[in-house]
Structure 1
Amino acid sequence: MVHDVNSYGENGSRGVSVDEEASVSPNGFCNGVTINGHATSEGNRLPHKRLKWFDELPPVLQYNKYVRSRYRAGYTYSECACSIFQYHNETGNIHTHLLPAVAVLVLLGFRLIQPWPLAKLAFYEHVGAVVLCLGGSVAYHTLMAHHQDYHRWLLMDVCGVFALLLSGVHTWMYWGMYCYPWLRSSFIAAYYLSAAGCVVAGLRARTQVQRAAPMLALLGVRLASLVTRTALNSGSQDAVWHYAITEVLSFAGAMINVLRIPEKWFHDQEAADKGVRKANPFDCWLNSHQLMHVLVALAMLHLHWGAADDYHYFVSHPGQCSSVH
């Protein structure tokens, strides 16, 4: 038998009873109340479904045992869309990547960031990969509550990550070793081959550790390329610093996510073993995945700054290869 011994109620929310919870959608479309398990709605409004505890979830959603409450599961796609502005344990994960994606599009729309005049294709490829990565993450965290299609949305998230890794790093290898074409081509080929293997391994993975481990091969190639271009004094050295910060932020985010910090430190295993439902203070905010999202967003910013520095160095040093040959 499962017992509730905290102030969150059965659905894991403060101040809301076990049998009644109202939605918080600002436009009214998603408003509704669930009373005694029966949805009440007006017109075409969708009910706000009862949030679940970890032990109530289908196995596909039980990937972080330290996050205990306020889960969505069994949602339709319409209910998933309505839940974007509702309060649950994916709210932070959605908005930590939704807001940066919107910011990038707004900056582009108002021309507050300009394409690189002599490399517009590279610019749009680079920025497009950033938006694709952020958008894939938002789609995954929003639509995973329709858990029957969980792996489809996980695939979108993974593909967005690899699109960013390939696009951004191709830029720093291409411009950073422009005067060493054979070396440049070797690094790019090694990186793409490693990425292909990582995609296959990542799609077969069933845990965060299995999904993160193949990334070490890509990390190795990236670090080797940075060390090489630094040793050769090739390209913008300011860009190298931005790329190094990108790697530090990304690695820190990955480690925090894999180690489940900080929610792991506040998990009551004794209560869980006894079947007692007890919310974790980090169920909804500042848990490991959200911290990773913030660090990854900052890493994207430094990746863009590095690419911009490489571009400006490239166009301002037209004779840079003359001293090499």
Structure 2
Amino acid sequence: MARTLPNHADLIDYEHAVAGHDGILRDADGELFIKPCTAAEIAFYESSRAYHPEFVEHMPNFLGSLTLDQQQNGTTIEEAGAALIAKHSIPEVVVPKRDNNRKIATKQAIVLENAAHGFVKPNIMDLKLGVRLWADDALQEKKARFDKLSDETTHKDLGFRIAGMRVYQGPNAVGKDIDAGGHKIYDRDYGRLTIHKDNVQEAFRDFIFIKSAGIDEELGKLVTQAFLADVSRIQEILEAQESRMFSSSLLFVFEGDGAALRSAMEEASKPPATLANGDANSEEDDDEDENPRPKIYDVKIIDFAHADWTPGEGPDENSLKGVRSVVNILQELSESG
């Protein structure tokens, strides 16, 4: 069944990105975003949806793709995307070439549901997976640069790196790294220069346990246990399937406002009890869409520009090293707090 999109004509820059390329846009309500991509990433979403339903449960919800004909009277991605949303449909995607070195040069984009939508104060962490970060077709210069990055960061020992975090610090938070919404921003240099294998668990604590935002040990442990359950499930799926994903990420999101988080958990404990994020399927989907339960947390695998299903080649041990390391860290935190 075709997805009906919100009727909003305005697209704006996506403000919650903590890593990755520039050029991501979102609709006015923040329910979806449009991300420049390669044809290979679209193909991976489509093949996953067709043949790997268990994996799809942990991918962002893929709504379709756009392609921009640059000869269409100078149409921009903003104009093309706004027109698509206004028509309540997603045909094929469209993105003009980007010249900035952090913007993908592509004519294509994917439309995804925004994992951070529906939270009062979303806390977000992006973990880049893998010891080896480059795909087979990468240029030698890129291979050397990424190998150096791996050797100098936690990629080498743990199989992942914190690519960025955005963590709510409470209503009275101030400081040079605090944005207008009270979130502390941990940029790309944080995972490259500050975090190493001996202090990485503290980084997870700084992401989850924020007393100034009302997230005490009790709430923090509940969030940690929820993350642990999902990442353990992702580990099981990757171990049972055959793929190769270079520079993909685990994206963690949870409610960073302690009062809102506790309220959401209390709501989730009401019959039928669940720790789902306000979008569980049931026979009363229409009613739930009108009054969805508040969101608690989410874990997604993202970034598939260099991903493929590889029958006969075995599980993706490169990505799995990082996933297993994250499982171990979350297990220790859930036990010790």
TM range (shorter): under 0.3
Structure of higher CA gyration radius: 1
Structure with the higher fraction of residues in helix conformation: 1
TM-score under structure 2 length normalisation:
0.25
Structure with the higher fraction of residues in strand conformation: 2
